[in-house]
Amino acid sequence: MKIPILPTQEIGSYRKPDYLINLWKRYMAGEGVEEELNKAIEEASIETIKLLEDVGLDIVWDGEMHRWEMYYHPVTYIKGIQFVGQVRVFDNRYFIKGSVRNEPKLVKNYHLEEYLFIKERASKPVKLPITGPYTIADWSFNEYYIWRWKKQEKDPRKIRYNAKRDLTIALAENVINPILKELSRHGVFRIQIDEPAATTHPDEMEIFVEAFNKAVEGVDTTITTHICYSDYSILLPYMNQMKTVQFALEFANRDTWEKGLDDDKRRGYHFLKELSEYSYEGEIGLGVIDVHTNKVEPVELIMDRIEYALKYIPAEKLFINPDCGLRTRSRDIAAEKLRNMVEATKKIREKYGFEN
Amino acid sequence: MYEGYIVGIFPRNDSLIDTWKKWERGTVDDGVFREVLDEALDYVVRNQVVVGLSYVHDPQIDWHDMFRPFTELENVSAGPLTRFFENNTFFRKPVIRDVVEYEKGFINSYVHRDKMPKGRRWIVTLPGPYTFYRLSEYRDGDTGRKSIVNMVSGAMDDLLREGYEFIVLAEPALAYYSDVDWDIVSGFYKPLRETGLKYRIHLYFGDVKDRISRLMEIAPYGFSIDTSYTSLEELEGLDLDTLVLGVVDAQNTLMENVDDTVNKIRSLREKLGCRNIAITNNTDFDYLPYEVAEAKLMLLSEVLRRLGA
């Protein structure tokens, strides 16, 4: 499918409509509302695909309507990981965390039906975001492999490292790789592997890269990745080693709201300069929308962010997106932000003589 | 002599998490919220007494993170959400705008002295000054250091006067970072030592075997070793008055084997010149779901019992 220069895309989650949130909550509380929930998921999915197409994105999907959240959803379908309770993320915000009690095995391709449903209803190319093996491993308690390594190793550092490697590779090989292969057989346009935990443990970068590459081995489709709120200088030396065509990264969150193209105004995007001095030649998904504020980025500011990026990244390698999933914003505000993003991108295309 | 106690923030139970959310949304009133919080606080305190720990730790379940009470003081505020070391847990970075003066008695409303049992020894955890310094934002280093000395020593003084036996100073930064500035660390701890305020330094998220001599200088009442990072074999020959061993892993739900743990501690004791060995969780139980934290607290008490304490 043909996409224009500077394609616009969403990253992942979009806020669910209230009727769906309520049904998800009731379902999670064990109220037996599966049938109603499935109907609501379909309804919300169609609404969101339409919304993202109407705002003018070039690559779309349904904003995670089929999923409670990016960790809970995959773990539900992985044998060997058991949910053990709520663990704090910050303040009074918690997530339901799992413990790895055995070798992880895939119960069911938890993205296939979702993808087929979206593909059927989308009129634009579809990108499917999938939580990556390193992030699932990092956000789980690793009981099984720690227990195994404790039997043969005394050094606690080696126990922790080896156990993490074993778990991450098992997730890549047993869970993510078969999912990706099956999806690619169904002709998915692009698959985005989400790895927000990628740079959390700098001494585990080799594990992250090895697992990523094993996850995509033999997969015949375009693979991209999304990483956010991280120290990208840790990632930089590994970017060329990863079998991905794109890194979609968050930048707007660290940028100023002042208009202009100079380094001081565009301080959130300095990494691009560092990147241009490195030999990376792949695509960059440019985060131009801060997903943690209701303030809507003006078109001119987004244009400045794109133009600044064009100093370092060739237009044919640049994709335009929000920093991260927009689920923390209301549907209306998120749509307004995306509309401005699309309009800014169109104006840049016109300015540089690219086809809209 | 063996001692056992827990350190750091204890997790909230499901009922408290849920009530807290409703209270924030305004769907339950202050009275209901207070009742659920009180019940949870009482339970965590009572549990430590029942299982026979040597000290009763203030549960701190109402603390959002280790710095949060202090960001209520003038000239400091709760800044952006920031990742806490290598965890999927975030804290509000303290932003120090100008020198922070500690207000006498300030910390007393954030601990639960009224819930602590009579006839028992009480302890509580505060952020260690170096970790506070590394994880804060400030106008300049001098302002940051002065403010942190004022806040930490002021709070310690208040709490010790209120009857807490000693203060646990959480110092993951001293274990985690490879570029610790020991002059700054000494600048914090030398005056603290001179005040005579009693504290133990709690270290986690890193291996400290190469830092022991420096730690001995700044921690006259003892410091801890996180045994999920530092091998006990590497501590042989260590000559200390008090060594604290973080033997219960608060970052994994895997339950430690009690026999193995007891044997390792006994064997280490024979090879050390330590008069006192204390056993604890390696870091805050807040990284675990409530039920698992409770089970690990029981496990800690079982190890303590088996050691004959």
ipTM: 0.95
Does A1 have pLDDT greater than 80? Answer: no
Amino acid identity of B193? R
Give me the pLDDT at residue A302, please. Answer: 98
Give the C-alpha separation, B256 to B234, whole Å.
Answer: 20
Closest chain B residue to the Cα of A160, Cα to Cα = B228
Using an 8 Å Cβ cutoff, are A218 and A177 in contact? yes
pLDDT over 70, % of chain A? 100
Pairwise CB contact (< 8 Å): A99 & B288: no
A157:B81 CB<8 A:
no
Residues, chain B? 309
- Which chain A residues touch B89 with a CB distance below 8 Å? 87-90
For residue A94, the chain B residues in CB contact (below 8 A) are 17
Min Cα distance A288 → chain B (Å) is 19
pLDDT (tens digit per residue) in B85-106: 999 999 999 999 999 999 999 9
Average pLDDT over residues B111-122: 96
**B40 pLDDT more than 80:** yes
Q: In the prediction, which pLDDT does B37 show?
A: 98
B59: tokens are 């549960």
β-bridge pairing A93-106 and A78-90 = antiparallel
Cα of B16 to nearest chain A Cα, Å: 10
Question: How far apart are the CA of A22 and the nearest CA of chain B, in angstroms?
Answer: 15
CB contact under 8 A, A91 and B12: no
Going across the sheet that includes B56-57, the strands are: B2-4, B276-281, B242-248, B223-226, B199-202, B164-170, B122-127, B56-57
B27 touches chain A (CB under 8 A): no
Give mean pLDDT, residues B148-152.
97
Number of neighbours of residue B1 by Cβ within 10 angstroms: 12
Fold of B2-306: TIM Barrel (3.20.20)
Q: Is the pLDDT of residue A349 over 90?
A: yes
pLDDT at res. B233:
82
Question: CA of B88, closest CA in chain A: separation in Å?
Answer: 6
Interface of A with B in 228-257 (CB under 8 A): 229
**Interface membership of A141 toward B (CB under 8 Å):** yes
**What average pLDDT score do residues A169-181 get?**
98
Q: Which of residues 183-212 of B touch A (CB under 8 A)?
A: 207
Partner A, chain B 42-71, Cβ-Cβ below 8 Å: 64-65
- B12 at interface of A, judged by CB pairs closer than 8 A: yes
Q: Label residue B111 by pLDDT band (50, 70, 90).
A: very high
Instruction: Give the pLDDT of residue B159.
Output: 97
pLDDT band of A338, cuts 50, 70, 90? very high
> Does pLDDT of B234 surpass 90?
no
What is the per-residue pLDDT for A240? Answer: 96
Q: In this complex, is the C-beta atom of A149 within 8 Å of any C-beta atom belonging to chain B?
A: no
> How far does the CA of residue A121 sit from the closest CA of chain B (Å)?
35
Q: Ramachandran region of residue A91, left (φ > 0), alpha (ψ -120 to 50) or beta?
A: left
